[in-house]
Amino acid sequence: MQIVISPAKTLDFDSDPISKEHTQPRFLEQSQQLITELKKLSVADVASLMKLSDKLAGLNMARFQTWSTPFNLSNAKQAILAFKGDVYTGLDADTLDKAGFDFMQQHLRILSGLYGVLRPLDLMQAYRLEMGTKFSNAKGKDLYQFWGSQLRESIETELSDGILLNLASNEYFKALQARELNARIITPIFKDWKNGQYKIISFYAKKARGLMTRYIIDHKIDKPETIQQFDIDGYRFSPEMSEGDNWVFIRDHI
C-alpha cells in the first residue's frame, strides 16, 4: 500500500535535519526544466501568477534564481523535514525512529508541483509552486499538462498490492489522473461536528491526514481495512457515512 500526501507552503530550512540519510528526487531533470522557465519571470509575473504579495513574490523569485544542482545536505533538506504545514504537524516526522523512517520511505510519497513525486528522504531546495498554478510552459498551459502521465506511472510502478491511500488534496491528487490510475483508491474523509452537523473543516482535516499517516507508520499497517481502527484525537470510522472506498471518519468534539 502506498500513501500520497500534498506538500506544504510553510518550509523549514533553518533547523538542522535530525537525520543525514537522504536520497535524490527522481524527476530532477524535469524540475530543472521548470526552473529554467520560471527564472525568466519577473517579480510582478510571479506575484500575478501565484497571487502573492510583492514581498512573497520576491522571496520566491530569489528561490528560483538560486536553485541549483547537485543537491546535498549543505544546500538542500529532506522533504519530510522541510515541509511544515498542517499535515506535517500531524505527522510529526521529527519524532520518528529509524524503523519509522524506513517504513515511511517505502510507503509514503509527496506530490509536488516542482518535483513531481518526492520520497520522504528526497532532498529538495526551497520553492513555492502549487500544482494548480496555471504556469504556461513548453509542454502545455499548466503543470498538469507539464507532468502529463509521468506521476501516475511513477506511482503505479510502486503499487505492489495495487492499493493507493489518497491523503492528498484534490488539487494535487488530480495530477495522478485517477480515472486512468490502475489501482484501488481509498480516500479517507475527516469531518468534525459543528453547528448541528458533521462537516469538513479544512484546518482539522489537513492535520488529520497527517495524524493518519503517522498512525499507519507507527503501526506498520499494510492492510487497508486496518486503517478503519484509526482513533487518534477523537476520530472514529463511520461506516454509515462512508460510501465504497470513500471512508468517512468523524469527531464529536474538537
pLDDT in 10s for each residue of the chain, 254 residues:
999 999 999 999 999 999 999 999 999 999 999 999 999 999 999 999 999 999 999 999 999 999 999 999 999 999 999 999 999 999 999 999 999 999 999 999 999 999 999 999 999 999 999 999 999 999 999 999 999 999 999 999 999 899 999 999 999 999 999 999 999 999 999 999 999 999 999 999 999 999 999 999 999 999 999 999 999 999 999 999 999 999 999 999 76
Q: What is the pTM of this model?
A: 0.96
What whole-number distance in Å separates Cα of residue 52 and Cα of residue 44?
Answer: 9
The amino acid sitting at 175 is A
Which residue bears the cell 513574490? 57
| Cis peptide preceding 70, ω within 30 of 0 | yes
Q: What pLDDT score does 205 carry?
A: 98
Domain ranges of the chain: 2-25+75-125+136-251, 26-70
Closest by alpha carbon to 4, among 220, 205, 151? 151
- Per-residue confidence (pLDDT) for residue 253, from 0 to 100: 78
Three cell numbers at 215?
498512525
* Calpha distance 205→190 (Å, rounded): 5
Contact in structure between 118 and 127 (CB atoms under 8 Å) = no
The H-or-E segment that residue 214 falls in is helix 202-219
Angstrom distances, CA of residue 236 to CA of 137, 227, 229, 240: 44, 10, 7, 12
Positive/negative CA dihedral, 235, 84, 65, 76: negative
CB atoms within 10 A of CB 42: 10
Distance CA 213, CA 199 (A): 21
Helix, coil or strand: residue 36: helix
Q: Which residues contact 243 (CB under 8 A, 6 or more apart)?
A: none
Say what the pLDDT of residue 111 is: 98
Looking at residue 98, its pLDDT comes to 95
- For residues 217 and 96, is the Cβ–Cβ distance under 8 A? yes
Orientation of helix 43-50 relative to helix 54-66, angle to 10°: 110
Across the chain, which distance is largest between two alpha carbons, in Å? 54
Helix ranges restricted to H, 51-108: 54-66, 79-82, 86-91, 98-107
Contact of 66 with 29, CB cutoff 8 Å: no
Q: Say how far apart CA 4 and CA 17 lie, in whole Å.
A: 22
Q: What are phi and psi of 233, to 5 degrees?
A: 55, 30
